[in-house]
Amino acid sequence: MSASNCLRCLVRPSAVTLAPRQILQAGAGAAGAGAAGATRTFTATASPNNQMSANRPQKLRFRKVKKKGITPQGKPPLPGERKAYRKKIVLSNNNALPVAGLETLRPNDLSKQKNVGTVMALPEDVVDALRATEAFKPTQCWGIFRQPSVLVRQETVDLIKKMDGAAADGKTLRLVVEGNRISGKSLMLLQAMTHAFMNDWVVLHIPEAQELTTACTEYSPLENSPLWSQPVYTLKLLQAFKKANEKVLSRMNTVYSHADLPQIIPINSPLIQLINSAKEADGAWAVFQALWRELNAENAGRPSILFTLDGLAHIMKMSDYRNPAFELIHSHDLALVKVFTDCLSGAHKMPNGGAVLAATTRGNSPRSASMELAIAQREAEAAKEEVIPQRDPYGKKYDDRVEAVMKSVEVLRLKGVSKAEARGLLEYWAASGALKKRVDEELVSEKWTLSGNGVVGEMERATLLTMKG
């Protein structure tokens, strides 16, 4: 909602009390003579009082004397500096040893079975693209190693094969990546994105779903629609999208004319130009819609699309936004979220094929009973179990819209890595100088057990981050 009409009414009470004093000070120069006279009279009357008080016995003071605090040395950090440091992503470390024989990923490497258990480096242009989409997270330990590299897991190869198969058939792979804490869910998305970037797909990534639904970005109602747009976030997403996919987008031209945009884009103009027309937040949603329409154009030689989202539970509940009636808005009524959920549910079909991947998260994730139930049901169906989990008949927290979206998705549950994969990872750590022990069967099995049967993040904690506790 716009806040243009009366910002002063919303100023905090403490700020309001300050205002008259400032006015007085400003007016002091104009009424200088009167003010000076007042002070003189005050000092004149004050002096006899002081003499009298000198004769009186000293009063006991009950108020505590304030101690002098420690004066801060140096200048305090600027606003936002601490957060920037906390969120800083370091992807290389010159002190780490270069790993001999480390191969750089080539377009088809992630789908080859023989690469399972090896660590492979990300190509530089892909690293830039991934950084633009915010695929790297500050909690991941990229800064220990010389070059960002990933372990090829069995699950990775399976997922990439599925993606390739779906894209080849012009279908869409709709899949939810599920797993325990630090079991590599976000990294699985990163690997899928890496594969997409290397194979000239178009990648649209929402790095934190909670940014969309926790009411921390602006929102406005869309005309003639029950949906709500989030212009500022959309603009940011468009820019990140452009930066990450520049190479692919530069080869594409528009096939529709877009007359309703802030800037008129004729047919057959570069797609980059369309994205660039979103200069301000106001027109961002219209541009995004136009772009989405262009990307899904049939028979125009468009590449496959990979649409990913991290933190699925955040969009599977009521959002923190409110409508004019002060009722909570459902997350699926946010336009951007709806684009994703339509793809995930299969309501929107991508004509050029591709994949829609969503990863759940365990850190700071809200409980979404319907999402958990749907995941359990899909898993049971995939395993062909006799008993499919059903709703708790007394539960009130179920959400039909969520269950409708997740009616037919696939579920990829990440568990620990195998011992062979664990060995590959440990050998890479040892070669990088991060692990100063001989990597043998004993060490591998010890770390594998300590990490809860090979959970990758736990293995990292038990091996590399021992000083952190």
Partner 1 sequence: MMASLRHSITNALRSSRQACNKPAQWQSLEQQFGALRIGSRSLSTFSNTEPNPNDDSPIVAAPPVSVDHFKLHPYARAVPVSPSYFTRTPRFYDNYLALEKLMEQYEELPVIPATAVERVAWKTLDDIRQELGEQVKASEFARCMVLVKRLNSIHPDLKPKQVKDVLDGFKRSVQPFTNTAKPIPIDQFGRACGVGRRKASSARAFVVEGTGEVLVNGKTLAEYFGRVHDRESAVWALRATNRIDKYNVWIKVEGGGTTGQAEAITLAIAKGLLAHEPALKPALRRAGCITRDPRKVERKKHGHVKARKMPTWVKR
* Closer residue to partner 1 (CB): 257 or 453: 453
Nearest residue (CB) to partner 1, 416 versus 424: 416
- State the nearest-atom distance from the C-beta of 461 to partner 1, in Å: 6
Amino acid letter at 445? S
Confirm if 357 and 189 have CB atoms less than 8 A apart: yes
Least separation, in Å, of the C-beta of 379 and partner 1? 18
Q: Does 141 bind partner 1 (CB under 8 A)?
A: no
Closest approach of Cβ 417 to partner 1, in Å? 13
In whole angstroms, the minimum distance from the beta carbon of 87 to partner 1 comes to: 24
Tell me how far, at minimum, the Cβ of 462 lies from partner 1, in Å.
5
Binding mask 434-453 for partner 1 (x = CB under 8 A): -------xx--xx-xxxxxx
CA–CA separation, 28 and 31 (whole Å): 5
What are the start-end ranges of the H helices in 269-391? 271-276, 284-295, 335-345, 369-382
Task: Check if the beta carbon of residue 120 is closer than 8 Å to that of residue 152.
Answer: yes
| Exposure b/e, 320-332, CB count within 10 A at least 16 = b | ebeeeeeeebbbb
CB of 422 to partner 1, least distance (A): 11
Task: Assess 169 for contact with partner 1 (CB under 8 A).
Answer: no
Joined together, the tokens standing for residue 305 give 């699309």
Give the pair of three-digit tokens for residue 363.
Answer: 């850190």
E strand or H helix at 461: helix 456-463
CB of 375 to partner 1, least distance (A): 18
Distance CA 352, CA 74 (A): 58
Q: Which stretch binds partner 1 (CB under 8 A): 14-22, 80-88, 399-407, 460-468?
A: 460-468
102 versus 443: smaller Cβ distance to partner 1 = 443
Q: Is position 363 an interface residue for partner 1 (rule: CB under 8 A)?
A: no
Q: Counting Cβ atoms within 10 Å, is residue 457 exposed (0-12), middle (13-18) or buried (19+)?
A: buried
Query: What is the distance in angstroms between the CA of the first residue and the CA of the last residue of the chain?
Result: 46
Q: Binding partner 1 by CB under 8 A: which of 112, 236, 413, 461?
A: 461
Minimum Å gap between C-beta 464 and partner 1 is 11
Q: Does 455 bind partner 1 (CB under 8 A)?
A: yes
The residue (of 265 and 459) whose beta carbon lies closer to partner 1 is: 459
Identify the residue among 222, 272, 462, 464 touching partner 1 (CB under 8 A).
462
The Cα 90–Cα 83 span in angstroms is: 15
CB 150 within 8 A of CB 194: yes
392-421 residues near partner 1, rule: CB under 8 A: 416
Whose tokens are 């154009």? That residue is: 297
Minimum CB separation of residue 364 from partner 1 in Å reads 16
Name residue 235's amino acid: L
Interhelix angle 456-463/441-450, nearest 10 degrees: 110
279 vs 362 by CB, closer to partner 1 = 362
428/448 with CB nearer partner 1 = 448
Cα pseudo-dihedral 282, 245, 357, 146, rounded to 10: -120
Sign of CA pseudo-dihedral 149, 153, 155, 158: positive
Number of residues forming the site for partner 1 (CB under 8 A):
18
Q: Residue 180 or residue 217: which is nearer to partner 1 going by CB?
A: 180
Site for partner 1 in 170-189 (CB under 8 A): 180
The residues of the shown chain that bind partner 1, judged by CB under 8 A, are 180, 416, 441-442, 445-446, 448-453, 455, 458, 461-462, 466, 469
